[in-house]
Amino acid sequence: MLDVSIRIGLLNVMANLREAEGVSILYITHDIASARYVSDRVMVMYAGHVVESGPTEAVLGNPKHPYTQLLLSAVPDPRAPLSVGAESDRGEPPRVIDPTPGCRFRWRCPFAIDTCAQVTPLPRALGPAHEAACHVAQPDAA
Ligand code: SF4
């Protein structure tokens, strides 16, 4: 919630520290644009589970998990016509207290299949160092 100039200044300080000192920084945010600006790798979480991870450009440029796709569709683009992303987000919020087996995103997922309600998806490789926890996500074409 910092103003833009202070935010950019802090992001640059972190990026410089990382380069100069060789340190790793864990940056937790809802701001995808700043995550893209400052990070080498991203992990997308939903209801306490990592649903997608990998190199920043691979994940944000070619999202495999429906939740990552939904997140990106919600980023406002002042040049685009009215987005359908928010309208397509229907369904229930996740049950994080005493969750049942299955994918925690299934109540909001337009691609859910029967397996999604029974089996919790585990992360699997879908591209170079790029993983997603989804039963229907497709790997990169060979
Ligand atoms: S596992 Fe099923 S419900 Fe979960 S994101 Fe993938 S398709 Fe959707």
Summarised one tens digit per residue, pLDDT across range 110-130 is 999 999 999 999 999 999 999
Residues 6+ apart with CB under 8 A from 114: none
Residue 117 forms part of a structural domain:
yes
CA-106 nearest atom, ligand 1: 3
Percent over 70 (pLDDT), the chain: 93
> Taking the model in full, what pTM does it have?
0.86
Residue 128 forms part of a structural domain:
yes
Residue 85 forms part of a structural domain:
no
Q: Whose CA is nearest to atom 1 of ligand 1?
A: 134
Type of residue found at 90: R
In the predicted structure, residue 63 carries a pLDDT above the cut 70: yes
Query: Residue 102 region, left (φ>0) first, then alpha (ψ -120 to 50), else beta?
Result: left
Range of the domain at 120: 4-75+93-132
Instruction: Count the domains in the chain.
Output: 1
| Helix, strand, coil % in the chain, rounded to nearest 5 | 35, 15, 55
pLDDT band at 82 (very low <50, low <70, confident <90, very high): low
In the predicted structure, residue 141 carries a pLDDT above the cut 90: no
Predicted pLDDT of residue 132: 98
What does the alpha-carbon distance between residue 96 and residue 100 come to, in Å, rounded to a whole number?
9
What does the alpha-carbon distance between residue 85 and residue 77 come to, in Å, rounded to a whole number?
12
